[in-house]
Structure 1
């Protein structure tokens, strides 16, 4: 059992964010895990494993070197900004900025816990931060190959879960939300408890900075990342029903919309259903802004979207034809 002291200041700073890399890591760190896996996750993972580029193999080795543990440095620390969505590009930039001092926590875990022989870990131990650019590029490739096309559907499920939590918090307070997040998580005044069997041996301290919760469609477990020098985070699973609904697109090989306009443009059209700006569309798709702009331009030429300027932003929305195509090709 982990007992996390939680002051009133911490409770007042409870927040929620979505994270592409948290979901990617949770989706792929189950290969050597002893935890049970949802059937939708298992099918998604089987498909994802077929897409992993060869240069990502050392990264996968790191992810699965210790059962039920993912290296903390792969979940980048971002400063608080009131955001609801962490963008994959800003997460990759934060990962690219990891230094030797940031790796110390993971070296402690790797050196004291049972782990599989790992050449990737040995290389990281020898080269430290000099290996980070290579691992960051591998993480980007892994995201692009395994999660980017499914991220718009997944993020909608995560947004819906956060919306429910926000309404509950407004009605019943943050304590009620914490008690409802997961069966192994419970809150009482001044303490948050997490029922887990084996945890790193250090003192948990939120330092009055609160705790950021990030939902995931992968895994049944709660994952905590509370360590000195970084913002505290806890990942939790959405419901089985919501997870299955979000991942159904990844399970189905028959997507009429993708067959008609291509998978990348189909993902862009579905993402434009949320009326995003070009920058927001890029974040949803996990691509650079020029690529997102090119997708929007192609869809606009086909009469599926229209583009409107609002101040300095360019916002895209579906035409009637675009909406009808999506409605006729639900995944």
Structure 2
């Protein structure tokens, strides 16, 4: 089964990439990871953080609220991911201001013949207290479980966005579309993506907005309503584990720093280094500082990121067996 997105020349000209991570898309995608019976291993550190927060604070009520609208499988309402918001607060304001007619339409489509919980029925009726309850549940979930992950989400996003920009400069939008993750294939004039059902989306000259998402684990996601501004939320492509340490290098540097040294080929940001070595951003930054003081790597600031690269000495040591 596949999602087929049909482009015209005007659509290619109007294809864009969002400028910053979309907090609500990260939130709803994280709910799919949280509810998955077999989540991908790269989300292990985040899931351990979730468990630690659940041990310290009762978050069952907000999690129950948001998972009612965003189940493990199946559709969730489009109004949960409003476009163009600069931060979570702006997104929550737009969600709370959703027209009552749209709430009723999208919630009715989601639940179908099933009987929704009482608070969802009140929400569909436009009840102010139900809107407030939803807003508070989303805010609590985000601040408790997503906010600590934002540095890694941000660095990963900007790394992917920079690659998209490089692809456009080197070969135009079609090169960008050809170099999306393997679950998305470009065969002009159609972009085909793995999807839970067969669906065709005709852009009709509106273009499309690409949204790289850290928590988009497997298949891309798009909006249900074809009349809304088209978006394609796609995985960022987590890197594979780094190769084994060279003989003796772990004894010299320590296992994690040896892994970090090997992981810096090719050069990468602190967030990417954390992903490649399976540690937190703070830990990756500390190991990078030690390697830099030893003359094994260089660190250069590029906008909001710090790019780390091996020196000739570091490269020779990483390759030595």
* TM superposition score category, shorter chain reference: 0.5 to 0.7
Q: 1:235 — aligned with what?
A: 233
How far does the alpha carbon of each residue in 1:15-37 deviate from its partner, in whole angstroms, 9 at most, with x for none?
Answer: 11221221122112234446x53
Whole-Å separation in 1 of the counterparts to 2:131 and 2:116: 20
Query: 2:90 is matched with which residue?
Result: 90
1:161 Cα offset (Å): 0.7
1:114-129 paired onto structure 2 within 5 Å: 121-125=120-124, 127=126
Q: Does 1:71 align with 2:77?
A: yes
CA separation of 1:214 and 1:246: change in aligned 2, threshold 3 A: farther
CA gap of 1:241–1:2, structure 2 versus 1, over 3 A, is closer
Shift of 1:235: 1.0
**Aligned residue in 1 for 2:7:** 6
Q: Say if 1:29 and 1:68, in contact at 8 Å, map to a contact too.
A: no
Contact kept? 1:96, 1:136, Cα under 8 Å: yes
Return 223-232 or 3-12, whichever deviates more: 223-232
Distance in structure 2 (CA, Å) of the matches to 1:182 and 1:239: 6
Distance 1:176 1:119, change over 3 A: farther
Alpha-carbon distance in 1 for matches of 2:277, 2:96:
31
CA contact (8 A) 1:59 1:135 kept: yes
Q: CA RMSD for the aligned pairs?
A: 3.7
Deviation at 1:247, TM superposition (A): 6.2
CA distance in 2, matches of 1:21, 1:137: 14
- The superposition leaves residues 117-145 of structure 1 with CA deviations (integer Å, 9 ceiling, x where unpaired) of 75654554455676223212221121111
Return closer, same or farther for 1:108/1:63 CA change in 2, 3 Å cut-off: closer
Count of residue pairs the alignment pairs up: 251
1:150, distance to aligned residue in structure 2 (A): 2.2
Partner in structure 1 of residue 195 of structure 2: 196
Mapped contact 1:41–1:247 kept (Cα < 8 A): no
SS of residue matched to 1:231: coil
Distance between the aligned counterparts of 1:27 and 1:158, measured in 2?
A: 15
* Partner SS, residue 152 of structure 1: helix
In structure 2, the CA distance between the partners of 1:172 and 1:275, relative to structure 1 (3 Å rule), is closer
Instruction: Summarize deviations over 1:242-283 as a string: whole Å, max 9, x none.
Output: 9875669996599699xxxxxxxxxxxxxxx8888xxxxxxx
1:139 partnered with 2:167: no
Asked if structure 2 preserves the Cα contact closer than 8 Å seen for 1:154 and 1:247, the reply is no
Tell me the equivalent position of 1:108.
109
Structure 2: any 5+ residue segments left out of the alignment? 241-270, 286-300, 305-321
Q: Distance in 1 between matches of 2:128 and 2:193?
A: 32
In structure 2, what is the equivalent of residue 216 of structure 1?
213
CA 1:231/1:163 → structure 2, altered by over 3 Å: closer, same or farther? same
Q: Give the structure-2-normalised TM-score.
A: 0.65
Alpha-carbon contact 1:98-1:132 (below 8 Å) kept: no
SS of residue matched to 1:51:
helix
Measure the CA separation in 2 of the matches of 1:165 and 1:98.
32
Q: Once structures 1 and 2 are overlaid, which stretch shifts more, 38-47 or 59-68?
A: 59-68
Alpha-carbon distance in structure 1 between the residues aligned to 2:276 and 2:170: 32
Q: 1:214 to 1:253 in 2, by over 3 A?
A: closer
Structure index of larger Rg:
2
Deviation, structure 1 residue 50: 4.4
Query: Higher mean Cα deviation, 57-66 or 161-170?
Result: 57-66
SS at match of 1:230: coil
Gaps of 5+ in 1: 80-85, 258-272, 277-331
